[in-house]
Amino acid sequence: MTVSIARVYDAPDDHRVFVDRLWPRGVHKDDPRIGRWLKEVAPSNELRKWYHAHPDEYDAFSARYRAELDEPGPQADALAELVRLGTDGDLELATATKDPSTSHVPTIVAALADHGVR
């Protein structure tokens, strides 16, 4: 079991899950590069907009996002779904962000690791 990160515009892996809340520009709804879309795991719109206005505060964003993932609700349910998918085999998390290393995806990967999915 491995978890990897990719940009949605790259060639897909067989076990790809698109984890952004917003649909990527220039990509058709039936594009195979998307894989499965699990938008519920993405940061809330409020947090996403806050981070867009404060891009230099990644640590604060990550902490706030992790708190969202830990709260019972749709985000936690979506994270649980990713844990289930990750325990079944390799998992590729896809995002449309220009720099995945400073996106929400590393926080998802850390949350998965806390649940034994690496």
What is the share, in percent, of the chain residues with pLDDT greater than 70? 99
pTM: 0.94
Between CA 17 and CA 35 the distance in angstroms is: 6
pLDDT in tens, 12-69: 777 899 999 999 999 998 898 888 999 999 999 999 999 999 999 999 999 999 999 9
Q: What is the pLDDT of residue 118?
A: 82
Q: Kindly report the backbone phi and psi dihedral angles of residue 95, in degrees, each rounded to the nearest multiple of 5, phi listed first.
A: -140, 155
What share of the chain has pLDDT > 90, as a percent? 82
| Average confidence score pLDDT of the chain | 94
